[in-house]
Every structure is written in structure tokens, then in C-alpha cells.
Structure 1
Amino acid sequence: MTTSTDKFPTIILIAGHWLGAWAWDEVLEHLATDHSRVTAMTLPGLDGDDPNRASRTLDDQAEAVLEVMTQLGVSEEQPATLVAHSGANAPVSLILDRHPELVRRMVWVDSGPVATGSAFDPNFPVELEELPLPPLDVLANQASLEGLGAEVLERFQARAVPEPGPVLRQPVKLTNDARRKVRTTLVCCSIPSKQVLELAHAGHAMFAEVAHLEHLDVLDLPTGHWPMWSRPRELARAIQSEASRTS
């Protein structure tokens, strides 16, 4: 039996480093859902109008995700689907650890859960407050820009907000193995799912936590690291399909 919650599940979209809610605009246009039950959020530290944004932490970001869930009426009886892209994996991993009962399904977009003790860049200099978006030639060596045209790249550069230093340096502390029981989907874009799973089972630091997930599905959406811009329609379809699943 399909309920209204199955048809119009609560979906929260969370973009990675340098990005805010605006990064999901094209995906939202294609999501076939009740828009009162879907939202894209900007993590603390990535709001360019926040004068204190450079001091925001992973804990601030996790608390903000929980606040959005509360505002949308998410509960143990009506859990949400969280969609996390790239560097949003650290605060969202904290949510999974602290409140697994509030997550119906986890969808990682060219990303995945982090392991306890890990930090994005533990050696990021303490004298630096933030990390601006690198020049595009440098960025292209760090993540695939496949599928992004000149107009999209110009918008990315114009709207990107520097990542707070504390977010980069702070290690993630996880204690609740129940996080691994949440049904999870990996949407694999810049790295094929076969390779991701091989790396996970080999214990690669970036993917090791994937090997511990108890309910895992994988989808391949071949493109670059920012599929919300390169393949927004297909990504929206994948998110809608996974969020509506009953198993």
C-alpha cells in the first residue's frame, strides 16, 4: 500500500563545499514531488551574508540540518530522505550517528559516509580562516568538471563561498553503529560504482565506511563531480526514485 508519505517523501538536499541551496535549483525544477516536502538548505559557513561564517563548525552544520528536519516535521514515525553531495558528507554523517531514527533513506551524490576520526584536511593551516574555491585548473585536478559548460563554471565561480577552516580541520567523531543500518544509496558519478565498491572493500580511507553499510544500493550516473548541473534531470529522477522506495 502506497501512503502519501511514500508518494511525497520529505527530501532534504545538502550540497558540498563552497555551495549553498542555490546549487540544487535545476534539480528542484525536475523533482516530481510535493514541494512542501522537499527543501534545499545552505549549511552554516556557506551563507555569504553571515559575518561569522568563517568560524562555523561541523557541529554547527549538523545542528542546522537537524533544525531543518524539525521544521519539516521529521520524526521517527515520518523520517526523511537526506541527499548529501560531496563535502556535505561530514555533517550528514554526524546526523546519521546522532539521529539515525530520523533518516528513512540516505542518498550520497558522488560522495559517501565518513569514518570516525576522519577530517577533510586536518593539516589546513590554523592561521587561515577559510578555503576559497580554487582556480578552475587546480579544481579540475581535484574533481572532475565533466559536463560543465562555460556558463555553469562562471556561475560556480561567482557564487561560491569560501569553506570555513574549522569545518575542514575538525575530525568527525562517531559512536553509534545504528548509522550503518540506515538504507543507503550511492549515486556514483565521477567514479564508477564498481570501482567505489572495490576501494571500499580494500579499506581505502575515503570509502572504507561504505563496506560497513548493511543496506546498500548503488546507481551509476556517469558525469563529473557536480551532477546537479551536468545532469540535473537524471539526478532528480534518481533522487525521486530512491526517496520513494519502501525497501
Structure 2
Amino acid sequence: MSTFVLVPGFWLGGWAWDKVAEVLRADGHTVHAVTLTGLGDKAHLATPETDLDTHIHDIVHVITGEDLHDVILVGHSGAGGLVTGAADRVPERIARVVYIESGPMAAGTTQMDNYGPEFKAEIERSVAAAGGSLFPLPSFEVLEQGDISLVGLGDEERALMRSRATAQPYGTMTQPLTLTGGGEKLPKTLVACSIPLEQVRAVIASGHPFFAVLSSPEWDFRELPTGHWPMFSVPEATARVLAGV
């Protein structure tokens, strides 16, 4: 049996993994679903100083505080940089890093570097309207305009997200990631959902700079055809994919 640490993407708390964790635990795995500072039931802890390092420390604290070893560290979407950073800090405790609808951030880059100019401008407008330090969950229409797939999210799933989402601390999106190289050679898995794996492989082969690292031998790949939030759209299948790595 394996030990999983599950890290949600933007606007979500550990609650987002409830159905996935239920399946994994029923199969005998140990699961820790992380709620990051300023999100979920920790929303009241958000400050303008909450940044990428804050959230990396949250993950490391769960791993070391619970004395976890051989961890399968899973990051969804915007948590890609977080699990990259956490694995870099405690590589001796990590068995594998899994990126769902995500990928590793390079040292010196920020989450905002991943967005096109129009979506970046929309984020900046939203943050300014919210006071300058928080990024509220946009409308689903705006998310689709940012090329974020909503496949599999029906009325129930959208209502759940809208009712429980909390604003993302903006500092986590603007602080550059610092890496030492500690987690560079750890085994890694990319789980492709909204982009077919065949297309991902083609982009890797093309030499696209963002995807170039995925050509390294420590990487393997899984496909889970659905939208950007598989923990809501196909939770059981998500659990099976994770158990399979």
C-alpha cells in the first residue's frame, strides 16, 4: 500500500479530494489531503504575504510533521509548482511526484508566466477589484475563455466548486520558484486529462521549452480523458490512475 499526499489547485481546499481519497483509503492506502494557507477552512489565514514559499512549507510540514516516507506527492493544476518545490526540499521522503493537469515549474518562473496576455490581464483586473492580494474564482465562462476545460462538470459539480471555493492568495502566483535541484531525478508522472496524451507527446517531441523537461527518463505518462478537474468529474477513475502509478 502507498502513502499519498494530495495537493489541490487554485481556490480549493483538501475537501476537493474527498471522493478520490475515499476510494484510495478503501483500497488500503494512506491519504493526506492538504489544505493550504489561505484556502478552504484556512481562508482566514490569508495575508498579503501568503506566497509560493508559504504553500510549499505547508506541504513539507505535512510530510515531516506526520513523519511520512515513500510519499506519492500529487499536485493538481496550479499546485504543480508547489509539489515541485516541496519535492525539492525533502526529496529523501518522496517516492514519486504526480502532476495532474499540470507540470513542473522551472526555477525562477512564476505561475503567471504560464498564461497568455488576455487571461493574465483578466487575472490582474480581478485581483485589483478584490483588493490586490486575492484572486477569486472567476466565472466558468471566463475559465473557458482561458482554455480551461469544463468537461465533466455538471450543475452539481459547478455548484459545489462555487459554494466552497475560496479566493487564491495572489502571492502564490507571482513569487518565482526557488529550486536547489534536490528533486530533479525523482520519478515523475504526468496525468493528461483535457489534452490528449498523443498531443502532449507531440509537443514534447517538438522541443517546446515548457515541455522539454518531460522528455527526461524519470518521466512516465497516464491519460485520463475528462476536463480540468478530474477529482470532481471522474473521482473513482482518478483514484485508480493514482493507485496505478
- Does TM, scored on the shorter chain, surpass 0.5? yes
Q: Which residue of 2 aligns with 1:165?
A: 170
Taking the TM superposition and a 5 Å limit, the aligned residue runs for 1:36-185 are 37-55=30-48, 56-74=50-68, 78-121=69-112, 125=124, 128-142=132-146, 143-176=148-181, 178-185=182-189
Contact kept, 8 Å, 1:114 with 1:207, in 2: the verdict is no
Contact kept, 8 Å, 1:147 with 1:230, in 2: the verdict is yes
1:30-60 Cα shifts (integer Å, max 9, x gaps): 214436x211111112135443314311111
Structure 2 counterpart SS, 1:116: coil
- Counterpart-to-counterpart distance in 2, 1:66 and 1:174: 14
Moved over 6 A (4+): none
- Counterpart-to-counterpart distance in 2, 1:205 and 1:236: 30
Unmatched 5+ stretches in structure 2:
114-119
Paired letter, 1:158: S
Number of aligned residues = 229
* 2:241 equivalent among 223, 238, 242: 238
Q: Which residue of 1 aligns with 2:10?
A: 17
Paired letter, 2:169: P
Deviation at residue 70 of structure 1 after TM alignment? 1.5
Deviation at residue 117 of structure 1 after TM alignment? 1.5
Q: Which residue of 2 aligns with 1:209?
A: 213
Paired letter, 1:188: A
- Counterpart-to-counterpart distance in 2, 1:101 and 1:16: 24
Aligned Cα RMSD in Å? Answer: 2.0
1:133-187 Cα shifts (integer Å, max 9, x gaps): 00111112221000111011011111111111111111112231x4231111111
- Counterpart-to-counterpart distance in 2, 1:174 and 1:107: 18
- Provide the TM-score with structure 1 as the length reference: 0.85
Task: Sort the Cα spacing of 1:214 and 1:202 in 2 relative to 1 into closer, same or farther, 3 A.
Answer: same
Structure 2 counterpart SS, 1:186: strand
- Provide the TM-score with structure 2 as the length reference: 0.86
- Counterpart-to-counterpart distance in 1, 2:11 and 2:165: 5
Q: Which residue of 1 aligns with 2:203?
A: 199
Structure 1 counterpart SS, 2:183: helix
Structure 2 counterpart SS, 1:180: coil
Contact kept, 8 Å, 2:81 with 2:103, in 1: the verdict is no
Contact kept, 8 Å, 1:54 with 1:163, in 2: the verdict is no
Task: Sort the Cα spacing of 1:241 and 1:231 in 2 relative to 1 into closer, same or farther, 3 A.
Answer: same
1:176-202 Cα shifts (integer Å, max 9, x gaps): 1x4231111111101122222332343
* 2:223 equivalent among 208, 220, 223: 220
- Counterpart-to-counterpart distance in 2, 1:14 and 1:170: 18
Unmatched 5+ stretches in structure 1:
1-7, 243-247
